[in-house]
Amino acid sequence: MSAPAIYAVFGASGCGRSLMPIAREQLTRLSIQSQIYFIDDALNELTMINGHPALNYSAFQALEVQQKYVLIAIANSQVREKLAAKIQQDGMQLWTVQANLNVVMDQVEIAAGAALSPFVTIGSNVRIGCCFHANLYSYVEHDCVIGDFVTFAPGVKCNGNVHIADHVYIGAGAMIKQGTTEQPLCIGQGAVIGMGAVVTKNVPAGVTVVGNPARILNTNNR
Ligand code: UDP
């Protein structure tokens, strides 16, 4: 009979190698004794990375097990979306990984495939979509609504009543001013918030904002 379940971190570059210890810690916390693989398509053959077996997606797919759980540890949100669809089509589960040192308050809904790094805090009454990445020391305060494939770099401060659409990327140390119940502060789909930006008002979809107060980056001036 095949093993009941195996686990994998997809991506063996910076993001994946930083999330692997958190994934390992989670299995220990849950008393699950199972192997965690790295999956990376750049690999041609089975190898070892940081003490874990590492192989490409086809080789992982070929392993005979009843259930496979995969955390997509790749910062690029478009790649995460593509791989999430493929993994589920192939009958595997998206795996959510949370560090021991997280604080998650009341009535928080987090969809599958999230990665919550150490010292992340999620306030009360927050909804978060698929494959959210919250890197070290970032927080999401009360009543925020976060879409699918959103990425927070380390130290992002997202205050209360902020709505963030799909595929938004927020750079290290950026701060988002709080909105209100009647008028949440909204960040549009695919927007990029530069490192250290201080966002004080709504951000349209698809733009990049930088600075304090954050302003749209005029790409003609680069
Ligand atoms: N990768 C992959 N399959 C894909 C896309 C990416 O295995 O379809 C791997 C790629 O080979 C690389 C990692 O994902 O090792 C992404 O690493 P990168 O340094 O670009 O970014 P990170 O997300 O780790 O910051």
Q: Which DSSP string corresponds to 58-101?
A: HHHHHS-EEEEEEEE--S-HHHHHHHHHHHHHTTPEE--EE-TT
41 lines ligand 1 (CB under 6 A): yes
**Whether residue 102 sits in one domain with residue 179:** yes
What tens digit of pLDDT does each residue of 164-195 get?
Answer: 999 999 999 999 999 999 999 999 999 999 99
Q: Is residue 44 part of a domain?
A: yes
CATH number where 132 lies: 2.160.10.10
State the catalytic residues.
142
Q: Is residue 22 part of a domain?
A: yes
218 pLDDT band (50/70/90 cuts)?
A: confident
**Whether residue 172 sits in one domain with residue 91:** no
**Whether residue 202 sits in one domain with residue 133:** yes
Owning domain of residue 195: 97-211
12 lines ligand 1 (CB under 6 A): yes
User: What one-character DSSP code corresponds to residue 220?
Assistant: G
Q: Is residue 113 part of a domain?
A: yes
**Whether residue 132 sits in one domain with residue 86:** no
| Tokens 């070892």 found at | 48
CATH number where 37 lies: 3.40.50.20
Q: Is residue 217 part of a domain?
A: no
Structural domain ending residue among the three candidates 73, 95, 117: 95
Structural domain ending residue among the three candidates 49, 74, 95: 95
What tens digit of pLDDT does each residue of 101-127 get?
Answer: 999 999 999 999 999 999 999 999 999
Spacing, Cα 80 to ligand 1 middle (Å): 10
19 lines ligand 1 (CB under 6 A): no
**Whether residue 189 sits in one domain with residue 125:** yes
Q: What is the mean pLDDT of the chain?
A: 96
Spacing, Cα 39 to ligand 1 middle (Å): 10
31 pLDDT band (50/70/90 cuts)?
A: very high
List 133's β-bridge partners, or say none: 115, 151
**Whether residue 65 sits in one domain with residue 13:** yes
What tens digit of pLDDT does each residue of 5-22 get?
Answer: 999 999 999 999 999 999
From atom 5 of ligand 1, which residue's Cα is the shortest distance away?
79
Cβ–Cβ under 8 Å, residues 139 and 156 = yes
Q: Tell me, what's the pLDDT at 1? A: 53
**Whether residue 167 sits in one domain with residue 79:** no
Q: Is residue 58 part of a domain?
A: yes
Q: Is residue 219 part of a domain?
A: no
4 pLDDT band (50/70/90 cuts)?
A: confident
**What percent of the chain shows pLDDT beyond 90?**
95
**Whether residue 195 sits in one domain with residue 123:** yes
**Whether residue 115 sits in one domain with residue 33:** no
Q: Is residue 191 part of a domain?
A: yes
**Whether residue 101 sits in one domain with residue 90:** no
Q: Tell me, what's the pLDDT at 222? A: 53
Q: Check whether 67 has a pLDDT greater than 70.
A: yes
Q: Check whether 72 has a pLDDT greater than 70.
A: yes
**Whether residue 150 sits in one domain with residue 191:** yes
13 lines ligand 1 (CB under 6 A): yes
108 lines ligand 1 (CB under 6 A): no
Q: CA Rg, the chain, in Å?
A: 18
What is the average per-residue pLDDT within 83-108? 98
Q: How many domains does the chain have?
A: 2
Q: Is residue 26 part of a domain?
A: yes
Reading across the β-sheet that carries 93-94, which strands appear in turn? 47-49, 52-55, 36-39, 3-10, 65-72, 93-94
Q: Check whether 221 has a pLDDT greater than 90.
A: no
**Whether residue 67 sits in one domain with residue 162:** no
CA distances from 101 to 69, 70, 79, 107, 120 (A): 22, 21, 28, 19, 7
Substitution candidate for ligand 1 out of 74, 82, 131 with most atoms within 8 A of CB: 74
Structural domain ending residue among the three candidates 52, 68, 95: 95
